[in-house]
Structure 1
Amino acid sequence: MKTVAQLLKLKSQQHHEVHTIGPGQMVLEALKLMAEKNVGALPVVEGGQVVGIVSERDYARKMVLKGRSSVGTPVSAIMSAPVITVDPHQNVEFCMNMMTNSHLRHLPVVENGELLGLLSIGDLVKEAIAEQANLILQLEQYIRGE
């Protein structure tokens, strides 16, 4: 099974860059950035440290349903914190279990306090499917004696 570090290297350059936002920025800015970059979540970074994560789900549940204004509400008011992170040495299976058990869709990758990347559940599912397809191919070749 691949490690998180290997998976981050495989991500295309477009999806490798991690877009972040500060806790004092307004929710509207976060929404604009998510729409512009076509991402579903942004790590919230303050002083170089990941202090939370804000997602479309946070917006729907903590803003829209409560009738709040995205113009005057800071990201810190709706972000999920403390944020669950993973280090680059963990494997895909560990991350999938963590995300499933904690009901997460996005998982920041942090090493020594530095944000290295952001994995989505889609990234992990894609890799798991690829690994299973490779295993099936190997088993078929073994059965055929190749």
Structure 2
Amino acid sequence: MKTVAQLLKLKDEKNQTVHTIQSHQMVLEALMLMAEKNVGALPVVKNDEVVGIISERDYARKLVLHGRSSVGTPVEDIMVTSVITVDTHQSVETCLGIMSDKRLRHLPVVENGKLIGLLSIGDLVKEAIAEQAELIRQLEQYIRGE
């Protein structure tokens, strides 16, 4: 299986940029950035270090359902602070396991304490399917004696 480093290199250029937000910024700003960049979550950073993550799910469950406003609520009030991260040496399989076990949709990639990428469950599933398809192709060739 590929490593996180290999997977990050395969992402097209526009998807290699990690869009982030600061904890003191308002939730409305986070929502606007997520909509503009067509992403479902933003790592919350301070000096390039991940201190949290905010997602559309956090907005829906922690603001909307409680009747709070995104205009006057800082990101730090609703962000998840116990962020699970991976490094570039982890395998796609390991990352899928982490995301499945912890019910995560986004996994920040950190190297030497600095945020360098963000993987979505879609990124990982797409790669796992591609790897399985290649294995099936190779097995079919073996069976046919090619």
Category of TM-score, reference length = shorter chain: over 0.9
**Letter in structure 2 aligned against 1:84:** I
Corresponding residue number in structure 2 for 1:129:
129
Corresponding residue number in structure 1 for 2:10:
10
Corresponding residue number in structure 2 for 1:19:
19
Per-residue CA deviations over 1:23-54 (Å, capped at 9, x if unaligned) read 00000000000000000000000122100000
Return the TM-score normalized by structure 1: 0.99
SS at match of 1:65: helix
Partners of 2:142 and 2:47 lie apart in 1 by 53
Name structure 1 gaps, 5 residues minimum.
none
Partners of 1:40 and 1:13 lie apart in 2 by 18
Partners of 1:78 and 1:13 lie apart in 2 by 30
- CA positional deviation for 1:14: 1.0
Q: Are residue 43 (structure 1) and residue 9 (structure 2) matched?
A: no
SS at match of 2:126: helix
Per-residue CA deviations over 1:101-141 (Å, capped at 9, x if unaligned) read 00100000001111110000000000000000000000000
Corresponding residue number in structure 2 for 1:118:
118
SS at match of 1:130: helix
C-alpha RMSD over aligned residues: 0.5
Name structure 2 gaps, 5 residues minimum.
none
